[in-house]
Structure 1
């Protein structure tokens, strides 16, 4: 014969290469789950799904059947898919071609028996036409300190992963970038979106100094992190941490957290085929309490449904899952799940250090029903005193009813992530809108103000456990509106405590109420920079 590739062998080679890449991606997914890195997990889960796409696989296999080599068949099949996405004229879909090219390279490397290899010198800034998500993971492991790309978009998966890893990253710098000679000293200023190609020695020294100062400041924040946070005029603000496991709780305690402001219990329920039993749950909650020394731990009851589904809990397929059976609504559909969880929570010791938080409450009856249930379980278990019970304020209805809820709840905790997407009617995972889902929007601030005012009428405290609590620009606004607890990501405890100590609470109160009358989130951010500059 003409010595061309034998289709059977080529198909087998392609299948083996695909399986190798799938197995590598599964490893990345496991690692991301262990670190609770939801974004990384979602991005690589999408890659796994693309590798199962029948249109893609069929095109490659048909091409092999016609006598082409597996390498060419795979490259062409991906090329066609990219072409289709680019022709749709949608910027977001065009960015997804980057994910396809990632898979193109990975499968080709597996077919050719090559590994990803590129040795980086220490402190390297990497410039490329375009990097893919798997490039980014490799470069981050090799210690790259910054990335810049000639192409790419701000909402591409690479940019999202870089943000999650704290790597400064600039995109769409134009093709001249690729002509910058290797080994040249540059300054990457991600805050201002600039790459300085010819910095003189004075500029480099200036950058080194500011980098050094930042490091010293971080060390200082760490040293002060164990101390309480009080404003200049003596108001105590509790700075707690959001955690999702006892390991994270240990980290939070070491970072100086005043408690756990939100333990997400979903970590116990996901990635398994049966629900955890009462004993397993109790041990997990107890481990978090033990990790926090003598500090209080707020444990949120299971919040699945919406975008978080469980294998063993078949829920009806919903057209709009984020507006469907999730949070406390699920507990009403499957009361035995919540009962089991409440039983486990009521058996931790000491119980007075455990506070229970209910997600997605939208009316008073939901709170009263669960309160009654807890009272019954306490009686059953011979427990004299019910633990504190709080309500998540993440549905606008709950913020508007805060006063009624505060009469029967011991505290309120504002989840700004969901509250902002429900108030603004914008999905925070929508790449085209994500930048506008800003919890400093005046409408959100009004709901926060109303929540604090309603709680104060019954002498209850209000915390914030959404991402806004971790934003130092927002700290003075939240303190000014009446929030007394901020629950932040563990590494930020020291930074937010330092921010609190620089504020005058009375001044924050006076200035933050004026922000409610501004026109947009960007106007609020501008005013915050003016009133309370970030030093």
Structure 2
């Protein structure tokens, strides 16, 4: 069976199926609505006590970042709009608390699940988790306890909530497989943090696996076997042993340079969304931040962040990195990321619409506030500014002009900032890639955003499962554009990074190295593995391989060639 590799590692063990309690909720007529609301409040309070325990457990056994998930759950329990609607439902329809809670929850979940952004869709899981907890307390249903297991197991479930993963006994839960979910779901993030192998999105796994069955899977490749033949188990036992030895080797690379066998040094940096993500970068020996997505400062709130709020967030990151480079992308809102308080127009095709730099150049007050905060923070470390969604030279020049205006304002106010701050742009639109020779004269660096560049180059919506087979980072058109961008940048003496998923792909790292990529930005957990690949690769040898790759006709041919001739894992 095939799923999505969510957390690396090999797992071999006995199945424990998470039983899905079927919760039947019927609408009942209630006379004493005040007593019913009190019953709801009591379930909320008991939920808070349970979540407080989970928070403390996660804080002690997993980490501060992961414990913050339960802070978010507390906020949902305290949300006056959410539970206000439930209470109104009880009063207006003389309804039971269970039915009112389920009805309102279904509306909220549907709203989040219909968003284009994967991160926002995954927030529906938080609401389900919290409401499910309250609902079970109202109905008197016990929840599954993964903290008190007698033997080593691999959990098989339709899905796992953050509460499920937070209470897992790491010594007993040696892996998990779910029927639904993606790489950015909380359960997947938790698995990577706990270093528990996991595969998600395995269709039909609940039908295929039963309690006590033997299950074997690869958390990298997403391959899952239920009750396999002995030779398959033996093969995976050997693979597991090699993987554990490999992990030990990776730990030894902390503090080492990211340098090829023939002496070419590159930068291995990380993508982050919030200041709290910096801990993971430092823990995995990242050499800086290649992409700080600032839009998360603007989300989950009812008004724009102030200049000082932004300044503190940026300053915290650059100070923690202690002089290492921090590339901060300006606001990339619109398209798949909406802000209710901005009242943006509804668009037929938001991915090609009013978003990112287009919005900022129109709403210059928002843009200037962010640029002021960024410049002020540049006095505290090695901060670089990057503009997203650039498609024309005019946009770059206008953005730089506004930046100069802001610099002038700060000078007149005697505010300190880095006057020589590097300014770069994202290459995520084919027009920018094709004209990269001219763009290279306008900026200090490029960062290639492969996620969108693939989407726009191939005209494939990466969220559309029906055509997902056409979306590939091995597509020859993408690789040709990447090579063109790198060559054009180097002719003008500027450096090139990559912050899309391709930058951390073990198969593509040697190819990108051969193309001359200077900086690889990825998930923090991928950094040490990428360093191992680079240190075991010769750039000169890869340059010869790149010429062959660029002349291939299909993504399948490219991937097969890499597997057979280049892969060093």
TM-score where L is the length of structure 1:
0.77
Contact between 1:259 and 1:292, CA under 8 Å: does it hold in 2?
Answer: yes
Secondary structure of residue in 2 paired with 1:404: helix
Aligned residue for 1:477? 511
After superposition, residues 85-124 of structure 1 pair within 5 angstroms as 109-118=136-145, 119-124=148-153
Distance 2:470 2:66 in 1: 27
2:344 maps to which residue?
A: 315
Which deviates more from structure 2 when the two are superposed, residues 377-386 or residues 366-375?
377-386
Quote the residue 1:416 is aligned against. Answer: 450
**Deviation by residue 1:433-490 (Cα, 9 ceiling, x = unmatched):** 3454222211111111111122122111110011111111110111122211101111
Pair 196,270 (structure 1): closer, same or farther in 2 beyond 3 Å:
closer
Does residue 325 of structure 1 match 2:351? no
SS in 2 for 1:312: helix
Distance 1:24 1:316, change over 3 A: farther
Q: Which residue of 1 aligns with 2:464?
A: 430
Mapped pair 1:509 → 2:566: no
Matches within 5 A, 1:351-500: 353-382=382-411, 385-500=419-534
**Per the alignment, in what secondary structure is the counterpart of residue 438 of structure 2?**
helix
For 1:365 and 1:344, locate their aligned partners in 2 and report how far apart those are by CA, in whole Å.
Answer: 24
Aligned to 2:204: 172
- Counterpart-to-counterpart distance in 2, 1:330 and 1:262: 20
2:216 matched residue in structure 1 = 187
Alpha-carbon distance change, 176 to 493 in structure 1, aligned in 2, over 3 angstroms:
closer
**SS of corresponding position for 2:506:** coil
Q: How many Å apart are 1:295 and its aligned residue?
A: 0.9
Q: Structure 2 matches for 1:17-32, cutoff 5 A?
A: none
For the residues of structure 1 that align with 2:525 and 2:428, how far apart are their CA atoms? Answer: 24
**Partners of 2:566 and 2:47 in 1: CA distance:** 47
Q: Which runs of 5+ in 2 are unaligned?
A: 1-26, 59-63, 108-124, 412-416
Once residues 153 and 425 of structure 2 are traced to their aligned partners in structure 1, the CA distance between those partners, rounded to angstroms, is 47
Q: Deviations over 1:248-273 (max 9, x none)?
A: 22331332111111111123222222
Counterpart CA distance in 2 for 1:282 and 1:188 is 45
Q: 1:159 & 1:277 partners in 2: Cα distance? A: 28
Q: Paired residue for 2:363?
A: 334
Q: Distance in 2 between matches of 1:447 and 1:378?
A: 34
Partner of 1:288: 317
Q: Deviations over 1:341-386 (max 9, x none)?
A: 1112222354772111001111011111122222233233336833
Contact between 2:427 and 2:447, CA under 8 Å: does it hold in 1? yes
Deviation digits for residues 294-345 of structure 1, max 9, x if unmatched? 2111111111111212233221122222211111111112101111111122
| Alpha-carbon displacement from aligned partner over 1:52-80 (angstroms, at most 9, x marks no partner) | 9x9xx99xx99x99xxx998x89x99xxx
1:236 paired residue number: 265
Is 1:266 the counterpart of 2:295? The answer is yes
State whether residues 188 and 198 of structure 2, in contact with CA within 8 Å, keep that contact through their aligned partners in structure 1.
Answer: yes
Q: Cα distance, 1:14 vs. partner?
A: 10
Deviates more, 1:136-145 or 1:420-429: 136-145
SS of the counterpart of 1:241?
Answer: strand
Flag the 1:223–1:435 CA change in 2: closer, same or farther, 3 A: farther
RMSD between aligned residues? 4.4
Distance across 2 between alignment mates of 1:345 and 1:70: 47
Matches of 2:45 and 2:429, distance apart in 1: 39
Write out per-residue CA displacement over residues 10-29 of structure 1, whole angstroms, 9 at most, x where no aligned residue.
Answer: 9986996699699979x89x
Q: CA deviation at 1:229?
A: 0.9
Task: Say if 2:278 and 2:317, in contact at 8 Å, map to a contact too.
Answer: yes
Name stretches of at least 5 consecutive residues in structure 1 with no aligned partner: 82-98
- Greater relative CO (CA pairs within 8 A, separation 6+): 2
C-alpha displacement at 1:528, in angstroms?
1.1
Relative to structure 1, the CA distance from residue 6 to residue 329 in structure 2 (aligned partners, 3 Å threshold; closer, same or farther) is closer
Distance in 1, matches of 2:400 and 2:28, equals: 70
Instruction: Find the counterpart in structure 1 of residue 558 from structure 2.
Output: 524
Distance change in 2, residues 1:126/1:285 (3 Å): closer
Distance 1:528 1:415 in 2: 22
- Alpha-carbon distance between aligned partners in 2 of 1:226 and 1:318, rounded to the nearest angstrom: 48
Change (3 A) 1:375 1:433: same
Equivalent residues, number: 485
TM-score, length-scaled by structure 2: 0.72
Structure 1 residues 507 and 19, CA, compared in 2 at 3 Å: closer, same or farther? farther
Q: Is the 8 A contact 1:392 1:414 kept in 2?
A: yes
Distance in 1 between the 2:353 and 2:128 partners? 36
Show CA shifts across 1:366-424 (max 9, x none): 11112222223323333683311101001111111111110010110001111111222
Is the alpha carbon distance of 1:427 and 1:14 closer, same or farther for their aligned partners in structure 2, counting shifts above 3 Å? farther
- Other structure's SS at 2:263 match: coil
After TM superposition, the structure 1 = structure 2 runs for residues 66-85 of structure 1, keeping only pairs within 5 Å, are none
Matched residue, 1:85 = none
2:381 & 2:175 partners in 1: Cα distance? 47
Instruction: Please give the alpha-carbon distance, in whole angstroms, between the structure 2 residues aligned to 1:402 and 1:23.
Output: 58
The worse-fitting range, judged by mean Cα deviation, of 260-269 and 513-522 is 513-522
Deviation at 1:524, TM superposition (A): 1.5
CA 1:120/1:380 → structure 2, altered by over 3 Å: closer, same or farther?
same
